[in-house]
Structure 1
Amino acid sequence: MIYLDNSATTKIDSSVLDTFNKVNSMYFGNPSSLHELGETTTGLLTQSRNLIAETIDVKPEEIFFTSGGTEGDNWVVKGTAIEKIAFGKHLITSEIEHPAVLESIKQLENMGWEVTYLPVDSRGIISVEKLRHALREDTVLVSVMAVNNETGSVQPIEQIGEALKDYPSIHFHVDAVQTVGKIDLKLGEQSRVDMAVFSGHKFHGPKGTGFVYVKKGRKLAPLLSGGGQEAGLRSGTENVPGIVAMAKALKLISEKQAGTQTELTLELKKYLDTKKNIEVFSPEQRAPHILCFGVKGIKGEVTVHALEKRGVYVSTTSACSSRKKVESSTLLAMGIPKSRAETAIRVSLSEDNTLAELKSFIKIFDEIYHSFKAIQ
């Protein structure tokens, strides 16, 4: 098996899985309980929060545990809207955000909030100047993802932060799910980013885990009410085994380098450029682990299943849209016609992929490509 769908999910690291199983079996107390088992699990949560904060260079009190990227994005978008409703009802985002952001914003739009959807250019990048022009006195949130999960486009987060420097009351939210181990995202006091969302299963942690960075002093309304966990901002009994395992996974990946992924995607791009009927949709400047392309005249799902029969796993575009069999909204926003966008497949790598795997993929893909030529 050659697994090249890491933007959808990564395989949990074996040592991380061992940690998860150990905590699950030995430290099963509820952190809210007053007895020794509860105190022990509370200590594990504190250790995990400290480790995550140290790894991404922020304060422990700025880390809040969630169930993953979807919950985190929903919380920041809706929590900002609720918390800051007295200051305005205008939101700014891009046309190519993850559905967790776009659907949250559309829900607010249906409830009376005003939204500016920033277009992207042919590379999938927003214009910071257009963002400046979109800012209003009643703007309360700017939400822009750091790395697009379909094409690997990297947004100018630092420049957006500069544009917001004179607007301290606006929350700047970054969907950072695809950044870990891939690009350097500056957070903390040196950064204008107010909230960043992370998901454990994107960096070899367990599914159902995640965390949100919330800069000290910024306020979010809670979406989940109940027992008052996570400083009253995210109620619900904490997933202690998952959180401890996620913290370990984050630490492990921070010690690895993304250079191998860059080499592999460059090698794949070099091969694809030799094929006249292949169109590469990812821009030249992109995150190192993603390459999106298509075979002209062949729908992406056909290519995906042809590769699957040979033991190779990729996706059409995002995991959220692939089962719905719809073309990539990101590619359409980039100005790519529907007939070409629906050919797209996405190869996404992790630190575990090797040059040998990539060469095997190219060999298998080349055979499939030549079989397609008969029906083009």
Structure 2
Amino acid sequence: MKKAIYLDYAATSPMYPEVVETMSEAMHSTFGNASSTHQFGRKSRGYLDEARIILASSIHAKPNEIILTSGGSESDNMAIIKTAEKFQSSGKHIITTNVEHQAVLKPMQYLEKRGFNITYLPVDQNGRVTAEQVATALTEETILVSIMFGNNEVGSVMPIAEIGESIKSFRSDIVFHTDAVQAYGSQEIDVQALNVDLLSVAAHKIGGPKGIGFLYCRTGIDLPGLILGGEQETKRRAGTENIPAIIGFQKAVEKMVTEKESKQNDYLQLKRLLLEQLAESQVEYKINGSEKYTLPHIVSLYLPGVDAEKLSIRLDLAGIAVSIGSACTAGNVDPSHVLVALYGKDHPAISETIRVSFGIASTRKEVEQAAAEIAKIVHSLT
């Protein structure tokens, strides 16, 4: 039986074996509540403090600026909803884009129903907005700008540093948030250089466990908690800390930091290999999004005349996992809002696009096999 090939890392990643081993050991030996003052609690607190230092250093932040959460969705919700609620006395205008993850768009819709004015900036044909667009949209009522670092469907990378500079040049007290869930692990992230105040991350995209992430919150923002209860995370996020998951997150980040440059090169080579193989097999395709400003591990392929759902089903039957959109919208019958933003709602690319994404265990052999199978199925469908 042929080994299954997983090429949907943008949805989630398997854990590094070292992460599994570290977490398993922690589950046996580190069960104390980090809020307890006895030796079992102090042991957990030590691991918690060490992990916070490692996580903070990965984005050039301070340890006390890291709020541990359940993942990207909670981090995005806290960043957006709690910023809006805290600063609404100064204005009720918020800026975002029309290609954000649902974890950003749904909170925006929630706030719209509560009287906030949301500006959804349109992206260009490459899936990007410009700093000039953001600057033009800013008003004296603007309190928050939330723009993703890298798009989860088409991989386009936004000019976050330039946007941050334009925001702070207009008014320094406007809060700037970026959803970096998809970019963390492949892009260099320095929160100081980027001028971001809030930044969301999830562990499961980089070979860590699901159910754990963090929100970077710049000193001075002091957001109230989204989850209320105990006084964990310096009163910013209630709930007994999941120490094994936090330790696993730390291990994944340590691996990420060590391997980032080599992995980025690996993903670029795999992307190039895939496209070369398809071209050699005379498969007609177009890349959705930006070919220059792009996440190295994502390639969104528009295959003219090929029904993406049929293709993905047949690939799955052949043991190859790809996606026809983000995992968070796969059960939704509505078309991809990202592709609609790029092309308009009636463009054939919306139903003729697959997403291939690479990760920690991807190999050249897997990509070659996948490319051959894609070509075989495409030619049978056209």
Normalized against structure 2, the TM-score is what? 0.94
Distance 1:303 1:182 in 2: 28
**Bigger mean CA offset, 81-90 vs 321-330:** 321-330
Q: Say how many residue pairs are matched.
A: 372
User: Contact 1:95 / 1:117 at 8 angstroms: preserved in 2?
Assistant: yes
Q: 1:269 Cα deviation (Å)? A: 2.3
Distance 2:356 2:289 in 1: 11
What does 1:94-105 correspond to in 2, within 5 Å?
94-105=97-108
User: Which residue of 2 is the match for residue 342 of structure 1?
Assistant: 351
SS in 1 for 2:343: coil
1:365 matches 2:358 = no
User: Which residue of 2 is the match for residue 314 of structure 1?
Assistant: 322
User: Which residue of 2 is the match for residue 203 of structure 1?
Assistant: 206
CA displacement, residues 233-290 of structure 1 (integer Å, 9 cap, x when unaligned)? 1111111110110011011011112101001112222344464643321321211000
User: Contact 1:261 / 1:351 at 8 angstroms: preserved in 2?
Assistant: no
What does 1:137-216 correspond to in 2, within 5 Å?
137-166=140-169, 167-188=171-192, 190-216=193-219
What amino acid sits opposite 1:177 in the alignment? Answer: V
Q: Which has the higher helix share?
A: 2
SS in 1 for 2:274: helix
User: Which residue of 1 is the match for residue 288 of structure 2?
Assistant: 281
Q: What 5-or-longer segments of structure 1 have no aligned partner?
A: none
Q: 1:354 Cα deviation (Å)? A: 1.2
Q: 1:35 Cα deviation (Å)? A: 1.6
Q: 1:38 Cα deviation (Å)? A: 0.9
**Bigger mean CA offset, 109-118 vs 296-305:** 296-305
What does 1:55-94 correspond to in 2, within 5 Å?
55-94=58-97
Q: What 5-or-longer segments of structure 2 have no aligned partner?
A: none
User: Contact 2:306 / 2:378 at 8 angstroms: preserved in 1?
Assistant: no
- Which residue of 276, 290, 294 maps to 2:298? 290
Q: 1:301 Cα deviation (Å)? A: 1.7
Aligned-residue Cα RMSD (Å) equals 1.3
Distance 1:24 1:170 in 2: 42
**Bigger mean CA offset, 321-330 vs 226-235:** 321-330
Flag the 1:266–1:222 CA change in 2: closer, same or farther, 3 A. same
Q: 1:181 Cα deviation (Å)? A: 2.2
Distance 2:308 2:341 in 1: 18
Q: 1:127 Cα deviation (Å)? A: 2.5
Distance 2:204 2:333 in 1: 23
1:259 matches 2:268 = no
User: Contact 1:7 / 1:349 at 8 angstroms: preserved in 2?
Assistant: yes
Q: 1:54 Cα deviation (Å)? A: 2.1
- Which residue of 314, 332, 340 maps to 1:324? 332
SS in 2 for 1:91: strand
What amino acid sits opposite 1:356 in the alignment? Answer: K
Distance 2:36 2:43 in 1: 10
CA displacement, residues 57-88 of structure 1 (integer Å, 9 cap, x when unaligned)? 21111111000000000000001011111111
Distance 1:19 1:11 in 2: 15
Distance 2:256 2:84 in 1: 33
Distance 1:175 1:129 in 2: 20
1:50 matches 2:53 = yes
Q: 1:128 Cα deviation (Å)? A: 1.8
SS in 2 for 1:133: helix
What amino acid sits opposite 1:333 in the alignment? Answer: A
Q: 1:220 Cα deviation (Å)? A: 1.4
Distance 2:134 2:54 in 1: 35
